[in-house]
Chains A and B, each alone.
Chain A
Amino acid sequence: MDIPYTVMPRRDTGLYNAKLGIWLFLASEVMLFGALFSSYILLRVGSYPGVWPHGLLNVPVGTVNTLVLICSSVTVVLGWAALKANQFAKYRKIQAITLACAGMFCCIKSYEYYDKFTHYEVILKDGRVIDGHLVEKVGGGQLVDGRRQPPEAIVIHGVEFPADAKAAGMAKVPLIHNLEKASGHHLEHKEFRIPWSDTKKVQNYGPWHNTYLAIYFTMTGLHALHVIGGALVIGWIWGPGAAMWKSDPERYTNRVEVSGLFWHFVDLVWIFLFPILYLL
């Protein structure tokens, strides 16, 4: 039995099945991301003035990732156009670039996450705050009674804030980038070897660090999952699923269009995520 409207559009909707399906799915995705964007806005406008963190993310790296996604959108649509012009070989080449862009985006995002997970804020018992990247943990780590022992010392490459800095909100809020901007010169970074017994709190810049990072990891993590999902679908259509091109080329072209619509949605979400998380 043939399933109707897999190629030709229905007269009443003007769409073939898969296109109607993807738009319904994208409508639900708009609600999902819309809820997260709304949460972000409410959290941000609800915070005390001057407390929302700035300068935590690397803008040039985020810009490169944005460029990578824009390029992937261009290649996905040009691949579809190649199929429309009956140029299958050209489609395969162009769509390979889309997949490479997806891989590159994930690599860059992983680098950004790694940077955050190795970035530490260390509050010492005397009130000083040391903010920087973890160089190494010295000693410790052995299991005693099922509990992992803390290191004897940690080595951080970063900057030191005076004892009253935290009370003034310096270390917690504006951070290095803003202090550098305000002072007009580069703050001196050096290596600190801190005995564990001197520390009061040691925490990296993971989602548990503050509200901003919690919503940053939630939104970008969910977006990255969409990128991976989209790349898997595009990759399947490009690879094993390409056999359909010989048996039913029009339906195959429609599949490429539908995967391209999803990919554009994912890229569009990033177009909104980038300015609100990195710039504003």
Chain B
Amino acid sequence: MTDTKGSGSPNLSRRSLLKAGLATSGAVAAAGALPATARAGGDPLITEIQDWNRYLGAGVDEAPYGMPSEFEAHVVRRNVPWLTADTVASINFTPLHELDGIITPNGICFERHHGGVAEINPADHRLMINGLVDTPLVFTMKDLKRFPRENHVYFLECAANGGMEWRGSQLNGCQFTHGMIHNVMYTGVKLKTLLDEAGVKTNGKWLLPEGADAAHMTRSIPMEKALDDCLVAFKMNGEALRPEQGYPLRLVVPGWEGNMWVKWLRRLEVGDQPWHHREETSKYTDLLETGKARRFTWVMEPKSVITSPSPQAPVGHGKGPMVISGLAWSGNGRITRVDVSLDGGRNWTTARIDGPSLSKSLHRFYLDIDWDGSELLLQSRAMDEHGFYQPTKDELRAARGENSIYHNNGIQTWYVQKDGAVENVEVS
């Protein structure tokens, strides 16, 4: 998001501006702006020799596993302390406002644990298949790596993403309103391959995956989905799963709510009925205004959010070229269109989707505008390949009330002010 072509100015960072004593006044400078004209005598960052121009840097092996630049130290997962009782049964949020493209780096994929992160030596891990199968089986990790494998990019979204916003705008930042999502490439074995190896009996209609962590997480999955596109994955973005993402083995349930993607996967039981366990009765059911509650609401609906500008990523320049950037996704398949509004949903322009357009994966969209410096009410609206598009928050509330917690995919509004600051608002 650094393409500011036509600005005609040296691209200085805020840090270098301050160092050079060039900080100009007002919010524009505070947001990290470009000077309008070159300084007399030239930019000292160019005219003077800098330390890094002269002295030697770190050698190879300084960081056997590399980390981001120290100047990126603020790009981290963050939690909302008031939301849950304890961090071992809690959630944190992906810093979406700092990312671009569609892939989430492994170290900042949001975490949701129900009993903390299980630490498992892969040599000690076992996967069992039992229940209504011809042959109950046990696999080691080595066994699993002998089956044919596949690679797929999928988003994983917690059903509660946006859950704090049902009653209205509450949190200032897309990290907090939309950050219970990540998108990585998984490597693993098709779940169908493993189930076929055990031989599912004809009355085997449901599957119960179970985790090896202290929560022993379980969910009921219909066999049709299990045999369709689920994976048993051991890699993310090319490297082993991170411990907080289920190392050494997790279930991948494309397009469906994240709670079903059981981490530290140790068992798959085949049955003829669902189990109605805690995470599909007490939790992850959607209470409606009538007092009825929907259950087995698995699919994540079409959704989008503008990640920049957004409250944590204010506009860092004055009027002129501005890149509006965001993410869109749907559990139904590919995103075919994203519309962006600058006036709170009165008029819309179709944005440009850039990068890979993959089924059940994040899509990156851009709208490049010439900002006149006036206030904006930014919205984005995703449409998927089945023609479903994102409802407004009012439409959702009219249909469901305010107590559903889960599956809030309503259209988000960001209020961009003249000084570039951005706030989470709701509009008429």
Is chain B found bound to chain A in the same assembly?
Answer: no
B interface residue numbers (CB < 8 A to A): none
